[in-house]
Amino acid sequence: MICFFAAVQVFAQPVAISPNSGSTSAINDRFGRPQPDSRAWADPALNHNQLLKERLGDGTYIMIGGYKVLGSPFLFGQRHSADLFTPKEKATNIDVSYNTYNQEIEFFSTSNANQALVKEIGEVDSFVLRKDSSMRLLQDIHFVYGPLVGSTEKSYFQVIQAGPDFSLYKRYKSELGFPSTNYGQSDLRQFDLIAEYLYYDKKQAKFKKIKPNLSSLAKEFKSIKDITPVADKDAFVTEPEEVMKRIINYLNS
């Protein structure tokens, strides 16, 4: 379990105006009313992580080794309604915190309502974070342990689209970066959340990282199929994951 230090203030969770961009601000019209946010899609977890760092400020940090680390390693913050599955048991409707830095999963249940218990990496086969509109989780998201789906990485992968031959996943991980407001403090770091897309080719038993843009996708899969019929450029701007799902389904057809 990770402990936070310094004076911690409690803030309302950041809420985005647009489900596409995750922005918390919008341009106002001449009457002072916010206009619809029409900017391109951005990962809501990355946006939430950035907003949380801004809300917490420099006064709240976590000690990791000899570093004071700003921000939070938990995906969408702490304590989300979830279902948890291990090789021996399952727990439904419990609170879970997914640590993207060390890949540990903290959970709370009726028997430990005020003290988190920790599942270390590999002890959990899969878990589901339930939809939460306040977090821009517009649907349940399912994570599975990498080695169970063909990866050598000991981390959890969000299932974007599963199929008989091809499947698409997203991996979140936090790294220690240098904050822009370091002010010469050599022991100061921040959590930088990274999102990566990967696909699994069952026939070749290959798990590979891929860039989330149409040109990279077309190049990657050109020896299998021409994805042009389902690679909608306009839709990719606002809903890239939906287009990538269609591409994976097309490859499986």
In a domain, 165, yes or no: no
In a domain, 252, yes or no: no
pLDDT in tens, the chain (253 residues): 554 444 333 333 443 333 343 433 444 444 444 444 445 788 888 888 888 777 766 667 889 999 999 888 999 888 999 999 999 999 999 999 999 999 999 998 777 878 889 999 999 999 999 998 877 788 899 999 999 999 999 999 999 999 999 999 999 999 999 987 766 788 999 999 999 999 999 999 999 999 999 999 999 999 999 999 999 999 999 999 999 999 999 999 9
In a domain, 162, yes or no: no
DSSP 8-state symbol, 69: E
CA-based nearest residue to 138, from 63, 45, 51: 45
In a domain, 32, yes or no: yes
Q: If you search the block for the tokens 């019209």, which residue do you land on?
A: 29
In a domain, 193, yes or no: yes
In a domain, 107, yes or no: yes
* Domains of the chain: total: 1
CA-based nearest residue to 60, from 68, 97, 185, 174: 68
Model's pTM, two decimal places?
0.81
Spell out the residues 6+ positions from residue 50 whose beta carbon is closer than 8 angstroms to its own.
none
In a domain, 178, yes or no: yes
Domain encompassing residue 61: 4-142+174-201
Spell out the residues 6+ positions from residue 192 whose beta carbon is closer than 8 angstroms to its own.
174, 175, 176, 177
In a domain, 155, yes or no: no
Q: Across 1-56, where does the E strand assignment appear?
A: 4-5
Q: Which helix (H) or strand (E) holds 173?
A: strand 166-177
